[in-house]
Amino acid sequence: MDNRTCEESIYLDYAATCPLYPESADAMAPYIQGGPANICVNANPNSLYEAGRKAYSALEDARGRIAEGIGANRPDEVVFTSCATEADNAALIGLASAAIAAPNRSAAAGMPHIITTSIEHDAVLAPARSLEKSGFEVTYLKPDRSGHIPPESLESAMRKETVLVSIQAANSETGAVNPVRELAQVAHSQGALFHTDAVQALGKIDVNMGLWEADAASFSAHKIGGPRGIGALYLKSRTRIVPGMLGGGQERGLRSGTQNVCGAQGFAAALETSLSLLAEEAPRLEALRDSLYSRLLDIPGIKPTVNTAANPEGYLPNIVNVMVGGIESESLVLRLDSLGFQVSGGSACSSHSLEPSHVLTAMGINPDDAYCALRVSMGRYTTASHIEAFAEAMPKVIDWNRR
Ligand code: PLP
């Protein structure tokens, strides 16, 4: 069927962005009504009159609910940002800059060293490269073939000069989940700070700042059914950071700029909804994931990128990644789109690039196979019949491409 409208299409790209949850839309509705009365709920939260104080209360209410949802100790450990990219940049550049400015850092200390991984999102890799240009040494750990970063590889990369470690909680392409707590413990045992990009993990697996022992973590509302344009940086109390956004001193001086009260309320509602659904949704999605893998792997020419069956706990429940022999991702994605399926060839952010995925090649997959990767990511509105329809369409897509 070549003429399915967008509304009729089957959306299987939740790792790129998640449809807005009605609970989040309802929470934001009062803030987006037009007209002069709007200011009664949507004043500047830093204004002193009553409407401003109400907006401030709504902002702080959202902060408290998000802090609780991520297992932070205190609401003021949540700093609102415009997205996770901003939170990642703030963490990498801000924490690294603060570490070298620390009063107890001796002048004789060697070149400051940062450890991250070669499978991070570009929101981490780009600031890491920028820090390299400004004199930091950066080690990019490689994953093992399963897409994970073993704590032992971090342990052997640690140096006395290491000031910061940043390792993702879960990968957006393969769904590989890293042992965050163990990794944080390795970093701390040598006196380095630990940041994790937890964007893909939130709402899919248990995320808890206390248990993870992270000093900082990045989150994004639009990956969990909240709106675009708001994210958060978790920053453990007393962690020193150099703020990147300077101005009016909002967010306790850590991120200047008038806060997005509407977005914060939408973010909090989306997080609470995701967490209330988690116990039911995680096994449901895992069953869909396993059934899709087994349906796809029965099709000649399709290979799995990772073996989730060998370690089901080691992967997010909602991501399937396969390589479709000899057919480039772009052709697959476009043909599937014309048949009414929205999927991704790699991470959404790199889908305009013709390079093979940096994640898959870092895992040791040869670039020719990596060019043929297809990521299917599921969520709240994905049903067994969507998966069935997708699996049935794949042989046709392959035949069409080979014609
Ligand atoms: N980190 C990871 C792991 C992601 O998957 C993404 C988005 O794809 C981001 C960061 C960036 O998030 P945002 O769109 O909120 O900037």
3-state secondary structure 171-221: CCCCCEECCHHHHHHHHHHCCCEEEEECCCCECCECCCHHHHCCCEEEEEH
State mean pLDDT over 69-76. 98
**Residue 16 CA to ligand 1 centre (angstroms):** 8
State mean pLDDT over 43-65. 98
What is the Cα–Cα distance from 8 to 31, expressed in whole angstroms? 30
Q: Is the pLDDT of residue 330 over 80?
A: yes
**Residue 47 CA to ligand 1 centre (angstroms):** 32
Q: Is the pLDDT of residue 6 over 90?
A: no
Q: With a 6 A CB cut-off, is 200 part of the ligand 1 pocket?
A: yes
**Residue 294 CA to ligand 1 centre (angstroms):** 29
Predicted local distance difference test score (pLDDT) of residue 81:
98
**Residue 389 CA to ligand 1 centre (angstroms):** 28
Task: Calculate the CA dihedral of residues 219, 45, 240, 228 and round it to 10 degrees.
Answer: 20
| pLDDT bracket for residue 107 (50, 70, 90) | low
Predicted local distance difference test score (pLDDT) of residue 109:
74
State mean pLDDT over 79-106. 93
Nearest to 209 by CA among 379, 61, 66, 15: 66
Q: 17: which 2 tokens? A: 């962005």
| pLDDT bracket for residue 104 (50, 70, 90) | confident
**Residue 346 CA to ligand 1 centre (angstroms):** 13
| pLDDT bracket for residue 353 (50, 70, 90) | low
Ligand 1 binding pocket mutation candidate from 89, 196, 349 (most atoms within 8 A of CB)? 349
**Residue 169 CA to ligand 1 centre (angstroms):** 12
Query: Catalytic amino acids?
Result: 349
What is the Cα–Cα distance from 18 to 96, expressed in whole angstroms? 32
What is the Cα–Cα distance from 369 to 360, expressed in whole angstroms? 9
Nearest to 305 by CA among 328, 291, 281, 325: 325
What is the Cα–Cα distance from 324 to 345, expressed in whole angstroms? 11
Residues 6+ apart with CB under 8 A from 182: 151
Predicted local distance difference test score (pLDDT) of residue 349:
43
Q: With a 6 A CB cut-off, is 90 part of the ligand 1 pocket?
A: no
Q: What are 173-215's pLDDT values in tens digits?
A: 999 999 999 999 999 999 999 999 999 999 999 999 999 999 9
Q: With a 6 A CB cut-off, is 220 part of the ligand 1 pocket?
A: yes
The residue with tokens 């069935």 is: 388
Nearest ligand 1 atom to alpha carbon 16: 8
Q: With a 6 A CB cut-off, is 139 part of the ligand 1 pocket?
A: no
Q: What is the mean pLDDT of the chain?
A: 95
State mean pLDDT over 305-333. 95
Q: With a 6 A CB cut-off, is 85 part of the ligand 1 pocket?
A: yes
What is the Cα–Cα distance from 285 to 292, expressed in whole angstroms? 10
Predicted local distance difference test score (pLDDT) of residue 195:
98
Q: Is the pLDDT of residue 347 over 80?
A: no
Predicted local distance difference test score (pLDDT) of residue 18:
98
Q: With a 6 A CB cut-off, is 266 part of the ligand 1 pocket?
A: no
- Give the residue with greater pLDDT, 42 vs 346: 42
| pLDDT bracket for residue 110 (50, 70, 90) | confident
Ligand 1 binding pocket mutation candidate from 14, 116, 121, 318 (most atoms within 8 A of CB)? 121
Q: With a 6 A CB cut-off, is 391 part of the ligand 1 pocket?
A: no
Q: Is the pLDDT of residue 350 over 60?
A: no
Predicted local distance difference test score (pLDDT) of residue 108:
66
- Rg for the chain, CA atoms, rounded: 22
Ligand 1 binding pocket mutation candidate from 13, 119, 168, 200 (most atoms within 8 A of CB)? 200
Q: With a 6 A CB cut-off, is 178 part of the ligand 1 pocket?
A: no
DSSP assignments along 351-370, one per residue: TT--SPPHHHHHTT--HHHH
**Residue 39 CA to ligand 1 centre (angstroms):** 31
Q: With a 6 A CB cut-off, is 23 part of the ligand 1 pocket?
A: no
